[in-house]
């Protein structure tokens, strides 16, 4: 499996989409910081001192800035994961550390670090049915597809 994943083509489309989202979030952050500074000036103004709505807008803006900062950090991590070298290094490190004699939690951690999602579909036939299992790997464009019949479960 290690050789298969290391030789897979890298998903480059995700990086472009994520970088454009990051640019939008950074622009939104700049606007919110300017608005926060504006509200802060209003809070310091003697004539507007008693207006609670300005204080509430300031608090809301501070929360919005925190949310945007969190989104930016998440996007930066996702961009790093979508990088081709990072994905291959991650696969290599994870598979080198894994040993067949390890417990279930270690195996589960390995699978979670390599697999983005597993989709299982079922098509019912007269007798039994067919299961399709599709595995999407993190940082790669390729999918692994397996088909099995109803009787493989026994």
The count of structural domains within the chain is 2
Give the side-chain half-sphere CA count within 13 A for 113.
19
Helices 52-82 & 84-97 angle (0-180, nearest 10) = 70
The answer to whether the Cα torsion of 63, 65, 69, 71 is positive or negative is: positive
Measured between alpha carbons, how far is 5 from 89 in angstroms, rounded to an integer? 11
**Domain boundary, last residue among 36, 64, 89:** 89
Specify if 96 maps to a domain: no
Please name which of 56, 33, 62, 34 lies closest in space to residue 43, comparing C-alpha atoms.
56
- Please check whether residues 20 and 70 belong to one and the same domain: yes
**What pLDDT sits at residue 112?**
83
Helix (H, G, I), strand (E, B) or coil at 111: helix
pLDDT tens-digit readout, 32-44: 999 988 888 877 7
- Please check whether residues 37 and 71 belong to one and the same domain: yes
Domain that holds residue 126: 104-153
pLDDT tens-digit readout, 135-146: 888 777 778 888
- Please check whether residues 23 and 83 belong to one and the same domain: yes
Specify if 94 maps to a domain: no
**Which helix H or strand E contains 115, and what residues bound it?**
strand 115-124
Residue 64 or 12, more confident: 64
Specify if 117 maps to a domain: yes
pLDDT tens-digit readout, 79-131: 776 665 666 666 666 666 666 666 788 778 778 877 888 999 988 887 778 88
- Please check whether residues 84 and 114 belong to one and the same domain: no
């Amino acid at each position: 499996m290690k050789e298969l994943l290391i030789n897979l083509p890298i998903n480059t489309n995700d990086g472009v989409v994520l970088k454009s989202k990051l640019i939008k979030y950074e622009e939104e952050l700049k606007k919110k910081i300017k608005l926060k500074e504006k509200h802060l000036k209003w809070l310091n103004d003697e004539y507007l001192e008693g207006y609670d709505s300005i204080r509430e807008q300031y608090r809301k803006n501070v929360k919005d800035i925190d949310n945007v900062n969190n989104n930016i950090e998440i996007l930066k991590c996702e961009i790093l994961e979508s990088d081709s070298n990072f994905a291959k290094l991650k696969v290599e490190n994870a598979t080198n550390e894994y040993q067949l004699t390890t417990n279930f939690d270690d195996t589960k951690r390995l699978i979670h670090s390599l697999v983005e999602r597993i989709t299982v579909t079922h098509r019912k036939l007269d007798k039994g049915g067919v299961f399709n299992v599709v595995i999407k790997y993190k940082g790669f464009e390729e999918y692994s597809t397996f088909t099995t019949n109803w009787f493989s479960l026994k």
